[in-house]
């Protein structure tokens, strides 16, 4: 990326002045080195998003930003329905509510050494992973609709966890406004056998160890200490979310001219928030969010079962669950007054600061846990939302390392078996049904997650709390 295209506001904030049909500035949060390494398509997509009707404040991109469908991955934008704002299926993405949850185990790294290999094998047997993976749960039509409208609450009511889990999940485990009637039969068909499965791509279940703590006071509130063993689950709404995204993008492209919307890019297909199509998409999208929340809840139950057999002293309580790839109604300050906005986060996560009423009481004083996933073999990070971040980008932060090369390029550079063997030499056990998938997700195919996190911290989007490294990775 040519940094001459930007006005530098700080060491980690770069602005694009509005030009052409842009309604608001473009803003990229990154170090100079990360910005230089970004592909030029990010600049194009950030400026295109700034042209959409009803956008407010800015079109933002997080430090892990890279080219995506319509919006850059790592893109954030907020829209005002009262100003003709739109909702964009491309601004949410295909894997709706792909997200991360972290579980405490109450164990120290020394506690799992003797059973590490057995634990890896048992988790691999218990957690269906890979393209087209299916689980033991079969949903009929009534159960499907109940799940889509109940989310993690539905799962807990059926014995997949406890009410205490719901306190540590965004939306308290169930996103209001979900409308299962707006989810097509094809989307439901794709999901009926996929509950409690990881899927493929960058999804994983990891057993991790805390190596460093940067903010001791916040770490106490989060209950993370050096040497602690954690469980991280990264997955989303599987085939259902992808089907919803595909179907509504097609409908929005066709409908846009009728709404008087001139799209700067067909991939930015959208509809007015207050239109019938916009409301139908929001109902379906929220149902997909609930699907993802229920899916992660079931995976948590399966993980607890494995631990109860091999490490019965483990407690596996939930630290937090955050979603990426969503559009949420939130109140943020615009021109000095609070406004209800529709905040799109694509490959980005909510990062609310201290005092926010939506946070659990035990976390409210320190801010929301922000969970930044690594890339199999690299570190992951736990951060906390900041008040500054609420002003900078509507309480948003990056969600991971971000790809540095395509999956095709990764296949040309790495062999899956060699990746697995190399990571085992470094004490990281990989279990996966696909060596091709492992090669596509090789750690070297991603940006330096530490550099990305340092940029988010430096920009003030969120502050570093702890660093963790993988011990076991179940990979789709």
Identify the pLDDT of residue 29.
Answer: 98
The sheet with strand 26-29 has its strands ordered as 7-10, 13-16, 26-29, 55-66, 73-79, 337-346, 326-334
Which DSSP letter does residue 258 get? G
Residue 368 counted as domain residue: yes
Q: Is 108 a catalytic residue?
A: no
Tell me how many degrees the CA angle 42-45-51 measures, rounded to the nearest 5.
145
DSSP structure string for 105-174: EEEEHHHHGGGHHHHHHHHHHHS--STT---S----HHHHHHHHHHHHHHHHHTTSS-HHHHTTBGGGG-
Identify the pLDDT of residue 402.
Answer: 82
Smallest CA-to-CA distance from 321 within 173, 200, 475 is with 173
Are 360 and 347 a contacting pair, CB within 8 Å?
Answer: no
Smallest CA-to-CA distance from 345 within 243, 461, 447, 446 is with 461
Identify the pLDDT of residue 403.
Answer: 82
From the candidates 203, 399, 408, 426, which is the catalytic residue? 399
* Total domains in the fold of the chain: 1
Identify the pLDDT of residue 337.
Answer: 94
**Strands 26-29 and 13-16, sheet pairing:** antiparallel
Residue 91 counted as domain residue: no
Place of tokens 């009262």: 82
CATH assignment of the domain containing 160: 3.90.1860.10
Judged by DSSP in three states, 323 sits in: strand
428: its two tokens: 């990281």
CB atoms closer than 10 angstroms to residue 269: 24
Beta strands in 167-224 (DSSP E): 204-213
323: its two tokens: 């979603």
Residue 449 counted as domain residue: yes
Residue 90 counted as domain residue: no
286: its two tokens: 């929220």
Smallest CA-to-CA distance from 441 within 411, 418, 472, 467 is with 411
Which residues form the domain of 169?
3-85+96-475
Separation CA 144–CA 158 (nearest Å): 13
Are 166 and 151 a contacting pair, CB within 8 Å?
Answer: no
Identify the pLDDT of residue 375.
Answer: 84
Residue 244 counted as domain residue: yes
Are 457 and 383 a contacting pair, CB within 8 Å?
Answer: yes
The sign of the CA dihedral 46, 47, 52, 56 is: positive
pLDDT, tens only, 188-204? 999 999 999 998 888 99
What is the residue-level pLDDT of the chain in tens, covering all 476 positions?
999 999 999 999 999 999 999 999 999 999 999 999 999 999 999 999 999 999 999 999 999 999 999 999 999 999 999 999 999 999 999 999 999 999 999 999 999 999 999 999 999 999 988 887 888 899 999 999 999 999 999 999 999 999 999 999 999 999 999 999 999 999 999 999 999 999 888 899 999 999 999 999 999 999 999 999 999 999 999 999 999 999 999 999 999 999 999 999 999 999 999 999 999 999 999 999 999 999 999 999 999 999 999 999 999 999 999 999 999 999 999 999 999 999 999 999 999 999 999 999 999 999 999 999 988 889 999 999 999 999 999 999 999 888 888 889 999 999 999 999 999 999 999 999 999 999 999 988 888 999 999 999 999 999 999 999 999 999 98
Separation CA 445–CA 200 (nearest Å): 16
Q: Is the pTM of this model over 0.85?
A: yes
Residue 207 counted as domain residue: yes
Separation CA 381–CA 399 (nearest Å): 10
Identify the pLDDT of residue 71.
Answer: 97
Place of tokens 């047997």: 125
How buried is residue 433: exposed, middle or buried, by Cβ count under 10 Å (0-12/13-18/19+)?
Answer: middle
Judged by DSSP in three states, 231 sits in: strand
Separation CA 335–CA 116 (nearest Å): 54
């Amino acid at each position: 990326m040519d940094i001459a295209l930007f006005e530098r506001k700080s060491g980690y904030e770069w602005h694009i002045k509005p030009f052409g049909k842009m309604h608001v500035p473009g803003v990229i949060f990154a170090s100079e080195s990360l910005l230089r390494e970004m592909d030029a398509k990010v600049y194009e997509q950030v400026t295109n998003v700034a042209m959409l009707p009803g956008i407010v404040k800015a079109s933002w991109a997080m430090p892990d930003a890279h080219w995506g469908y319509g919006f850059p991955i790592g893109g954030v934008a907020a829209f005002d329905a009262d100003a003709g704002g739109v909702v964009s299926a491309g601004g949410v993405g295909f894997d709706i509510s792909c997200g991360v949850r972290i579980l405490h185990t109450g164990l120290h790294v020394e506690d799992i050494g003797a059973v590490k290999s057995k634990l890896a094998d048992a988790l691999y047997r218990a957690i269906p992973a890979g393209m087209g993976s299916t689980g033991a749960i079969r949903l009929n039509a009534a159960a499907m609709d109940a799940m889509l409208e109940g989310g993690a609450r539905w799962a807990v009511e059926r014995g997949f966890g406890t009410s205490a889990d719901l306190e540590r999940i965004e939306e308290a485990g169930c996103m209001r406004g979900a409308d299962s009637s707006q989810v097509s039969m094809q989307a439901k068909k794709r999901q009926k056998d996929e509950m409690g499965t990881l899927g493929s791509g960058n999804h994983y279940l990891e057993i991790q160890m805390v190596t460093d703590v940067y903010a001791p006071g916040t770490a106490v509130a989060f209950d993370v200490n050096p040497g602690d063993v954690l469980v991280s689950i990264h997955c989303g709404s599987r085939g259902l979310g992808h089907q919803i995204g595909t179907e509504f993008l097609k409908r929005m492209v066709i409908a846009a001219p009728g709404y008087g919307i001139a799209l700067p890019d067909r991939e930015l297909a959208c509809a007015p928030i207050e239109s019938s199509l916009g409301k139908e998409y929001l109902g379906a999208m929220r149902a997909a969010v609930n699907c993802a929340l229920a899916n992660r809840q079931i995976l948590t139950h399966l993980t607890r079962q494995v631990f109860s057999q091999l490490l019965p002293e483990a407690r596996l309580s939930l630290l937090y669950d955050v979603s990426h790839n969503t559009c949420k109604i939130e109140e943020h300050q615009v021109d000095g007054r609070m406004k209800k906005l529709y905040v799109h986060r694509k490959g980005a996560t909510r990062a609310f600061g201290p005092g926010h009423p939506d946070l659990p009481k035990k976390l409210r004083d320190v801010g929301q846990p922000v969970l930044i996933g690594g890339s199999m073999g690299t570190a992951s990070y736990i951060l906390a939302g900041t008040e500054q971040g609420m002003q900078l980008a509507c309480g948003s932060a990056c969600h991971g390392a971000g790809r540095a090369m395509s999956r095709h390029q990764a296949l040309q550079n790495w062999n899956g078996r060699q990746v697995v063997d190399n990571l085992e030499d470094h004490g990281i056990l990989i279990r996966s049904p696909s060596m091709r998938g492992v090669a596509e997700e090789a750690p070297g195919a991603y940006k330096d997650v530490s550099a990305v996190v340092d940029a988010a911290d430096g920009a003030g989007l969120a502050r570093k709390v702890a660093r963790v490294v993988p011990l076991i990775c179940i990979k789709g």
